[in-house]
Amino acid sequence: MNIKVVPLDAAHKADFFRLHSDENGHGWCFCVAWWAPSWNGWMERTADENRRMREQLFDIEQFDGYLMYDDDKPIGWCQVGPRDRLIKLCQEYRLPYDSDAWAVTCFLIIPAFREIGLGEFMLVEILKDLEKRGVKYVQGFPRRGKNISCEDLWTGPESFFLKADFILERDDPVFPIYGKRLKNP
């Protein structure tokens, strides 16, 4: 394996769509859940509606995350960006405005590459890049509970954040909040 993590940009849009595809079992969401204005009607949205929303985000140069590759094959995605741009996230978690806060809000690793530590690796690589870019503070929003299915871990398992030395900021039996202060160069 030759694994690398790169920021999403215009040159990698096609790879984003290669990853978010029916072939990989992920051709519906296109990572727009936090961009949609509400959870009302979310499950009734079509793949075409979600893809159009993602394309509109790209049109306004909203490249909000990182892709992970094995050689030239996209195998993973993590949505990361300034936290307060995601109004629904801030409302759902009752978060005060903080222009310095960034959020890790979604993970996708194709099934053939799961359970071998690549999610943790991807998060560490992202944090290194965010430090270089001068980001000071990052939050994560994992899901907790018994018998959680893989599909319910789209915000990342709690273990990813613990292994990356995030600190529990708000305890909750299902929706905790973790944070990490970054050391900037």
In whole angstroms, what is the distance from residue 126 CA to residue 120 CA? Answer: 10
Which residue type occupies 169?
E
CB-based contact 178:166 (threshold 8 Å): yes
Position 145 pLDDT exceeds 80: no
Place of tokens 């296109």: 30
pTM of the model: 0.93
Query: Residue 54 is inside which H or E element, if any?
Result: helix 47-59
pLDDT of residue 27: 87
Q: What is the pLDDT of residues 146-170, one digit of tens each?
A: 777 777 778 888 989 999 999 999 9
Strand partners, 93: none
- In 3D space, the residue among 119, 100, 131 whose CA is nearest the CA of residue 162 turns out to be 119
**Domains held by the chain: number:** 1
* Residue 57 domain boundaries: 3-181
Q: 88: domain CATH number?
A: 3.40.630.30
- pLDDT-based confidence at residue 185 (cuts at 50, 70, 90): low
**Token digits of residue 102:** 């960034």
pLDDT of residue 87: 94
Q: What is the pLDDT of residues 116-129, one digit of tens each?
A: 889 999 999 999 99
- pLDDT-based confidence at residue 23 (cuts at 50, 70, 90): confident
Which residues are within 8 A (CB) of 136 and not within 5 positions of it... i.e. 6 or more apart? Answer: 100, 181, 182, 184
